[in-house]
Amino acid sequence: MTFATSHPYNDLVARITRVVPAILTSEPEALHRMIRQAEDFASYVQFDIMDGHFVPTYSITDKALATVTIKFKWEAHLMVEHPANYLVNFKKLGASKVVFHYESSPSPEEIISLARQLSIEVGLAINPNTPISAILPLVETVDSLLFMTVQPGFYGSKFQSQVIDKIAEFRRLHPMFEIGVDGGINETNVALIANSGVDDICVGSAIFLQQSPSESYRRLLTLTEEASQGQTKSW
């Protein structure tokens, strides 16, 4: 992604923003189908892991992922209680990164430390109502930050546009940090998000619940690229 010339971070190199397909399902058959679909258009994918406790719904587990061959690079978005209990298995399965929620643990530092011991990248996700000030002390200890623009746990939840202001606030403080955004993103708002200062845009239902996931992905990517044309960023 790139920033417009009027943006405060405007004089360096162009930013490339990725559209990251997010796979969320509780059904093993659907998991296999979505993985095969993603292979046609994606080189990096996010798997959403939900335990029915941190969020009210369940999704596939590490055991389900162990039954499939995954050809692309991927990360696990852990919407779970006790995320530290999941790290070893996801490392063994080949995850490039684990992303856990700040709100899921009273000791996020311990989870980050364990991820470092396992030599796996670690990202921190924050819910829409969590203030930037809460996570600033942890920023230098993680690889990325994932802003949720919905309350986590469901495909197709309502996009909360006020999070865009939070992203802008964080970007002013950390112009070079890797930022992702996740939740309620579709063709009507992806351009707005692409202009907010993010590196990764995670999209679930607007890809996988459409008639042609590959065509939907490419349209989202085109809209993202068009929103980025003629802009620069501070990196």
Q: How many CB atoms sit inside 10 A of residue 136's CB?
A: 12
Residue among 85, 106, 199, 107 at smallest CA distance from 98: 85
Phi/psi at 148 (nearest 5 deg)?
Answer: -85, 130
Torsional sign, CA 171, 3, 178, 68: positive
Residue 178 token pair: 């890797």
Active site residues: 48, 182
Alpha-carbon separation of residue 170 from 7, 65, 141, 179, 205 (angstroms)? 14, 34, 16, 9, 27
Among all chains, which residue has been given the structure tokens 């002013």? 172
Q: Which residue has the tokens 């994606």?
A: 42
Helix locations, the chain, DSSP H: 28-39, 62-65, 87-93, 108-117, 132-135, 163-173, 190-194, 205-208, 213-228
